[in-house]
A and B are shown apart, each in its own frame.
Chain A
């Protein structure tokens, strides 16, 4: 069966760490960093379960700052 594989790219310098993408992701792919911060001092979003991502783009849709780009590829 064809499967959708997705990948997210977060503009970490633009991210303000609001956590809305983490909440919106149905598969818990994203999480905020706990120690690392960007230049503005925010914990930023990053992929923690990259293999699970299906590229549904929920995270990018709710992101208020438009930091997330989502790619999707159909695999057999």
Chain B
């Protein structure tokens, strides 16, 4: 059987989600953002919310997300995506509203907005891409940078005495009464990608059912910022990031509400 025959007669097992358009993505080769974009597109399509989704894009690498996923987007000021999402959801409760933010945006400049929006139980979902570094601006230290990790602004590694401890935003979110579903996922293997997709779907569903705010953290790689190949970056993430940022659901009260 030739390859052409399989393509002609066979069924399509996987193709790029139609919601993800053909614009070439500006992300570096092997960046986790692309995978998360695909997952978000797939989930929105499967939920049939294509025309009823309003997404908020952040400042950071993912700022151009509005160019790639064909839903309505708003661009927030740096770190202010949860505030904009709160307003959008309150004005338009039947819309699926989510923000897509990196760690520099969410865990640093936008800490206050994030925590208060989550605690107000706004029916939104926050997708938090944590790669422990400021990717877009050239690999500076972020609040989530691991101890001992070298970046452009801590070339000898992050030290407690000088820089303090890494911030676990997701753990903080899990302690807030306003949150419904708080989880930490990764997208480095097929199994992890499938789990992350389920988590995103659950979060979107809870936010549409009005069960409170949801946070999905995706522990990601930044191979350019970490100065590694994409493959090595995935390994480094498994060995170092997962030891500090444990994967799994931290809170799920959706079934009780």
Interface residues of A (CB under 8 A from B): 5-7, 9, 14, 16-20, 23-24, 42, 47, 50, 55-58, 60-73, 75
Contact = CB atoms under 8 A, between A and B. Distances in A.
A62 B193 contact: yes
B176 interface: no
Contacts of B27: 64-65
A66 B5 CA distance: 23
Nearest to B187: A62
Interface string B69-95: 000000000000000000000000000
Contacts of B47: none
Contact of A73 (B5, B30, B31): B5
Nearest to A47: B3
B12 to A, nearest CB: 6
B14 A64 contact: no
Q: B interface, by DSSP: helix, strand, loop or mixed?
A: mixed
Question: Which of B13, B15, B31 has most A Cβ within 10 Å?
Answer: B13
Interface of B: 1, 3, 5-7, 9-17, 20, 22, 24-25, 27-35, 38, 189-190, 193-194, 229-231, 234
A18 B1 contact: no
19 contacts: A6-B6, A6-B10, A16-B30, A17-B29, A18-B29, A19-B231, A47-B3, A55-B10, A57-B13, A62-B193, A64-B25, A64-B32, A64-B33, A66-B15, A70-B14, A70-B15, A73-B1, A73-B5, A73-B11
B230 A18 contact: yes
B189 A66 contact: no
A4 to B, nearest CB: 9
B12 A64 contact: no
B10 A7 contact: yes
Contact of A66 (B13, B17, B193): B17
Contacts of A61: 14, 190, 193-194
Given A65-B34, A70-B13, A72-B13, A5 B6 contact: yes
A18 B223 CA distance: 10
Question: Which of B11, B14, B32, B35 has most A Cβ within 10 Å?
Answer: B14
Given A7-B10, A62-B190, A75-B1, 9 more contacts: A9-B7, A20-B230, A23-B231, A42-B29, A60-B14, A64-B38, A66-B16, A66-B34, A66-B38
